[in-house]
Structures are given as structure tokens and as C-alpha cells.
Amino acid sequence: MTYKIGLVLDEERLKLIKGTELEKEIKDLFGGALKMIDVEITEEQAKKLMHLFPRVRIDARGYVEETPIAFRKALFKSVLSNGNKKEALEVILSDENILKEIKDMASKEDEYIPPP
């Protein structure tokens, strides 16, 4: 089974993906008030995320939610640099240095939640 992570796009992120293949994958939320792209992930990747970040859950729609903001930021950067959404997540999950940095930043989110 596959799941999805929805990356919400603000104006700055929309500018970054304008003209790329990702632009074709933009979805409207709430009547177009928000924009997002989906990153499909495997069941194994979802389990790894749930192990790494205890708050992560999968909702009824099959979306992985409650991931740290630091993780979503890193995933967006990885999607931009790789151009391939499937490889982008694998790059993050396979690099211990990136995971350590995400965990460190995520631990601070309990004290202060930065804007996404």
C-alpha cells in the first residue's frame, strides 16, 4: 500500500517550482485557497517515519500527518534538488546526518513551532 505526504506550498515555494515538472502536480485545497503537491511513499517508508517521529500518524485518506515541520522543509528541499519525488524521500531517510539535523530541529518545535 502507498501513502502520501502533502506538502503545502506558500507563494515562495510556488515561485520555486514554477516552470518545473512539479508545477503540473499542484493541487488546490479549500477551493484554491491553498496549494499542495503530494509525495507518494511506501508502507515501509511510512513505518520508518512513525518509528523516527512518534507523533506521526496516517489519516483516513492515507496521508502521513503530524510530521515535524523540519522534516517537511527538508523533504521540499530534497524534492526541488532531485526533481524526483520518490527519490527525494529516500535521500532523506538514508542519510543519517540529515535525519539527525531534522531530529534536532524537531525537538525545538515543542518549544516553538516555526512557520511551515
- What are the mean pLDDT values of the chain's consecutive 10-residue runs (116 residues total)? 92 90 88 89 93 92 93 93 85 92 86 63
Model confidence, pTM: 0.86
User: Is residue 114 situated within a structural domain?
Assistant: no
User: Is residue 60 situated within a structural domain?
Assistant: yes
Rounded CA gap, 96 and 102, in Å?
Answer: 10
67-106 burial, b at 16+ Cβ within 10 Å, e below that, comes to bbebbbbbbbebbeeeeebeebbebbbeeeebbeebeebb
- Amino acid identity at 111: E
User: Is residue 65 situated within a structural domain?
Assistant: yes
Total tally of structural domains belonging to the chain: 1
Provide, rounded to the nearest whole percent, the portion of the chain with pLDDT above 90.
61
User: Is residue 27 situated within a structural domain?
Assistant: yes
Q: Give the pLDDT score at 112.
A: 66
Q: Give the pLDDT score at 31.
A: 84
Where in the sequence is the domain holding 66, given as residue range(s)?
A: 2-109
User: Is residue 115 situated within a structural domain?
Assistant: no
Q: Give the pLDDT score at 84.
A: 80
